[in-house]
Amino acid sequence: MDIQKVVAELKEDKGGRIILMVADGLGGLPLQPGGPTELEAAKTPNLDRLASRGVCGLMTPIKPGITPGSGPGHLGLFGYDPLKYVIGRGVLEATGIGFAVGPDDIAIRCNFCTLDGEGRIIDRRAGRIPTEESAALVQKLKAIRIPGVEVFVEPVKEHRFVVVFRAPGLGANVADTDPQQVGVPPLDPQAHDEPSQRTAQIARQFITEARKIIGQHPKANGLTMRGFSKRPDLPSYREAYGLKAAAIAVYPMYKGLASLVGMDLLGQPSTLDEEIDVLEKAWKETDYDFFFVHFKYTDSRGEDGDFDAKVKMIEQFDSVIPRVEALRPDVLIVTGDHSTPAKLKSHSWHPVPTLLVADTCRPDGATEFSERACLHGGLGHFEAMYLMPLALAHAGRLAKFGA
């Protein structure tokens, strides 16, 4: 029996309220041996104060040495085994913008990119073009027609957009076309099984037609495709944990993942302060038991390789902690879905600093929230899918196991 099934049997419908604060890509690395990580370099008086009250540890998103994408990283945080429940990025993006992904759909997360005269990528994100500019290009791509297939194209945010192919029998086992580097052309869509051969061919046709439409744009003259995927079947938060859960996020992908596990999406915030505004209002006026609050820009600055900018984002995240603390949640958790060290300019396999605050904690002597402090914290090293059982236990929502 897996841990989620155990928890489903032990869950109590009554208990304390939980807030999960996620600073995406929180974990980092020193730029120089012996130097601070981004979290250690940041001034975080509020998180440090919480660390002295709570208990800290290091969380492995999937398994040691495995670098997670955002989808698996968040699934682990939400208590789902990311090796058992696989959700593609395309479905996350599509669901996050409110697109109803059907059983015959293949959803794909796409990026506009910049190509040189030889068709090689010189900017994987097309300079992060503004959403308004990207949406206008997406509107033009809606004109693409492929025989025997319904094609949907929808804007997301900045350089991101979603493509959905709808036809019976399509497979989703198609490799990404993003080579994850510059100086080379986008990859050709390659299928890894027979049902996906047609999907790959449809993708090639779409790319060819899209290049005819956007080829003269000064920045977004190409595109890459990632996360070919179908909608998964997941137990909801209500079924798994007995929780009425809500999500507050800016970026659609994270809204999508929260929606797939049965969380209600609250508000339309565009900044961290607005997210906390939504949280405060919902805390007072609704009866949700669990709130997931997502902050993106710690991850973005890490992927940009900008150490100092990531430090500033961590400090911005720290600045809203008193507002969250003032709500007096029974359990407050602060963590990330994975590490994104500026030194690597990408997600990494490194465990993520994690802080849990509740009246039932055994304080571990930590006086700051950092990788070094968490290395010696009372939570120890644990896999992400055990975070939710810990949260439920501290909230008084788990019955005893066995006689």
What pLDDT does residue 1 have?
A: 64
Q: Are strands 290-295 and 105-115 parallel, antiparallel or unpaired?
A: unpaired
- 317 to 38, 47, 321: CA distances (angstroms): 13, 9, 7
Strand arrangement, sheet containing 331-335: 264-265, 245-248, 290-295, 18-23, 331-335, 352-357, 55-60, 380-383
Give the separation between CA 315 and CA 40, rounded to whole angstroms: 11
Give the separation between CA 164 and CA 168, rounded to whole angstroms: 13
Going along 51-104, which residue ranges are E strands? 55-60
What pLDDT does residue 371 have?
A: 97
DSSP 8-state assignment for residue 379: T
What pLDDT does residue 206 have?
A: 97
Tokens 């192919």, residue located:
165
- 154 to 135, 139, 151, 160: CA distances (angstroms): 8, 8, 10, 9
Cα–Cα nearest to 381, from 58, 56, 27 = 58
Q: Render pLDDT for 101-110 as a digit per residue (tens, 0 to 9).
A: 998 999 999 9
- 115 to 125, 126, 130, 165, 200: CA distances (angstroms): 11, 9, 18, 25, 21
Instruction: Residue count of the chain, please give it.
Output: 403
What pLDDT does residue 252 have?
A: 83
Give the separation between CA 94 and CA 100, rounded to whole angstroms: 8
Kindly report the number of other CB atoms within 10 A of residue 63's CB atom: 12
Give the separation between CA 283 and CA 265, rounded to whole angstroms: 14
Is residue 97 a contact partner of residue 252, using CB atoms and an 8 Å limit?
yes
Report residue 23 CA to chain centroid gap.
Answer: 10
Identify the three-state secondary structure at position 202. helix
| pTM score, whole prediction | 0.82
DSSP 8-state assignment for residue 103: T
Is residue 67 a contact partner of residue 83, using CB atoms and an 8 Å limit?
no
Give the separation between CA 114 and CA 329, rounded to whole angstroms: 46
Give the separation between CA 299 and CA 76, rounded to whole angstroms: 17
Give the separation between CA 235 and CA 238, rounded to whole angstroms: 8
Q: Are strands 290-295 and 331-335 parallel, antiparallel or unpaired?
A: unpaired
Tokens 């099984």, residue located:
193
Domain boundaries, the chain: 3-85+234-394, 92-229
H helical segments located in 304-359: 307-319, 321-325
Question: Phi and psi (nearest 5°) for 16?
Answer: -75, 170
Select 3-85+234-394's CATH number: 3.40.720.10, 3.20.20.70, 3.50.50.60, 3.40.50.2300. Answer: 3.40.720.10
What pLDDT does residue 71 have?
A: 87
Helix-, strand-, coil-residue percentages of the chain, each rounded to 5: 35, 20, 45
What pLDDT does residue 266 have?
A: 97
DSSP 8-state assignment for residue 328: -
> pLDDT tens digits for the chain (403 residues)?
688 889 999 999 899 999 999 999 999 999 999 999 999 999 999 999 999 999 999 999 999 999 999 889 999 999 999 999 888 889 988 988 889 899 899 999 999 999 999 999 999 999 999 999 999 999 999 999 999 999 999 999 899 999 999 999 999 999 999 999 999 999 999 999 998 999 999 999 999 999 999 999 999 999 999 999 998 888 999 999 999 999 999 988 899 889 989 999 999 999 999 999 999 999 999 999 999 999 999 999 999 999 999 999 999 999 999 999 999 999 999 999 999 999 999 999 999 999 999 999 998 999 999 999 999 999 999 999 999 999 999 999 999 998 8
Q: Is 64 exposed, middle or buried (0-12, 13-18, 19+ CB in 10 A)?
A: exposed
Radius of gyration from C-alpha coordinates of the chain = 21
H or E segment and range at residue 108: strand 105-115
Give the separation between CA 102 and CA 94, rounded to whole angstroms: 11
